[in-house]
Amino acid sequence: MSRQRARGAGSRSSSRRIVRVARTPTGDGPTDADRSGEPADHVDLTNVLATGEIVACKELPWGSNYSFAVIVRVPDGSIDGSIGGRAVTAIYKPRRGEAPLWDFPAGTLYRREYASYLLTRSLGWGFIPLTVVREGPYGTGTIQLYVDPDEEADFELLRREHRADLQRIALFDLIANNADRKISHLIRDRAGHLWGIDHGLTFHVVPKLRTAIWDFCGEPIPPPLRLELDGLHRDPARVAELRQTLGEHLEMEELDALLDRVAQAVESGVYPPLDPYRNYPRGWW
């Protein structure tokens, strides 16, 4: 891993629009009883990603950080890309492959990626693919379940058919202080579920929101989403649990800032107006 990288924050690119590897099942899409879109065998998949053998690893040749397409299987499985064979395709982002940034502490992006996944799990907003932290061929990093994209789904289609999903993702970006929400970080899978990826530039204590989702500026936060945030905000036990869970990956002041942003969103009840200069991602696609 000696290739030189010298890019700034916000230049990370999606690695899942073009790569062609074994297709990974992602369930039959969300229902009213399961908004998360996660497959029914979520625990089994978690175990495969966390403890399975990485039997193939191919570098993805774009983006400012090193990332790899990997195939993970349990020792007694077969490499056929199916849950039945207990082999899955995933995206591996090692800590060692993170390009230095002037505004984020070195070696923390993989932890922020995982903390983002944990936060959405806590809120019941399962739009981030299953993610674990583990050792890989190039050291510790995240392993995230690969999403096979619907290549026909452009952003205009997402606006028409996934307004509620985009509202949820936009609210997450607000409270997580996401500095890099590009359009290519939104993926609709072949079952019609909308996912969000690439959350390494999150949870900074300084306001850094940069997003391509501007549709809801000044609009009220939908009552169900506001209630879900309020349920977290007003429950000391949930706050303590969240602090303990995310405290393994974020600094104390970052957790404080996160909870402050949650409180502000609940109190204001609206998506804030954005600044065309400060709040637009570098390389919006």
pLDDT digits (tens, 9 = 90+) for 179-203: 999 999 999 999 999 999 999 999 9
Tell me whether residue 1 is in a domain: no
Q: How many domains does the chain have?
A: 1
Query: What DSSP assignment string belongs to 207-238?
Result: ----BS--TTTTSBPPHHHHHHHHHHHT-HHH
Residue 64 is classified by DSSP as S
* pLDDT at position 272: 96
Label residues 217-251 b or e (16+ Cβ within 10 Å = b): eeeebbeebbebbbebbeeeeeeeebeeebeebbe
pLDDT at 42: 63
Q: Is the pLDDT of residue 29 over 50?
A: no
Amino acid at residue number 247: G
- Kindly give, in sequence order, each residue whose CB lies less than 8 Å from that of residue 242, ignoring residues fewer than 6 positions away: 119, 122, 232, 255
**What's the pLDDT at 75?**
63
Share of the chain above pLDDT 70, in %: 80
What is residue 169's predicted lDDT score, i.e. its pLDDT?
98
Look up residue 97 and give its amino acid: G
**Six token digits for residue 47:** 């175990």
Q: Give the mean pLDDT of 7-23.
A: 36
- Residue 182 belongs to a domain: yes
Tell me the per-residue pLDDT of 131-150, one tens digit each, with 9 for 90 and over: 999 999 999 999 999 999 99
- Hey, what are 151's tokens? 């290549």
Residue 78 has pLDDT above 80, yes or no: no
* pLDDT tens readout for residues 233-279: 999 999 999 999 999 999 999 999 999 999 999 999 999 999 988 99
Residue 115 corresponds to which tokens in the numbers above?
């903390």
| pLDDT recorded at residue 280 | 87
Domain annotation covers residue 282:
no
- Residue-level pLDDT at 189: 96
Residue 161 is predicted with a pLDDT of: 96
pLDDT score for 285 = 60
In the structure encoding, which two tokens stand for residue 73, read together?
């299987």
Residue 155 scores a pLDDT above 50 = yes
**152 located within any domain:** yes
Contact 258, 203 (CB under 8 A): yes
* DSSP helix/strand/coil, 112: helix
Q: Residue 8 pLDDT more than 60?
A: no
Q: Residue 49 carries which side chain, given as an amino acid letter?
A: L
- What's residue 25's pLDDT? 35
pLDDT in the model for residue 150: 93
Q: Rounded mean pLDDT of the chain? A: 84
Q: Is the pLDDT of residue 226 over 80?
A: yes
In a domain, 13, yes or no: no
Give 38's pLDDT tier (boundaries 50, 70, 90).
low
Q: How confident is the model at residue 173 (pLDDT cuts 50, 70, 90)?
A: very high
**What are the backbone angles phi and psi of residue 90, rounded to the nearest 5°?**
-145, 170
**Residue 191 counted as domain residue:** yes
pLDDT of 10 > 50? The answer is no
Confidence of residue 230 (pLDDT cuts 50, 70, 90): very high
- Alpha-carbon distances of 139 from 57, 93, 100, 260, rounded to whole Å: 13, 9, 17, 34
Please tell me the distance from the alpha carbon of residue 174 to that of residue 3, in angstroms, as a whole number. 34
Assess if residue 278 is contained within a domain.
no
19 domain-assigned: no
Instruction: Output the CA–CA distances (angstroms, integers) from residue 77 to 38, 47, 85, 131, in the order listed.
Output: 22, 13, 5, 21
The CB density around residue 136, as the number of other CB atoms within 10 Å, is 21
Q: Residue 53 above 60 pLDDT?
A: yes
Q: Residue holding tokens 């995310």?
A: 246
Q: Are 127 and 169 in contact (CB under 8 A)?
A: yes
Range of the domain at 215: 42-268
| Confidence at residue 15, expressed as pLDDT on a 0 to 100 scale | 39
Is it the case that residue 73 has pLDDT exceeding 60? yes
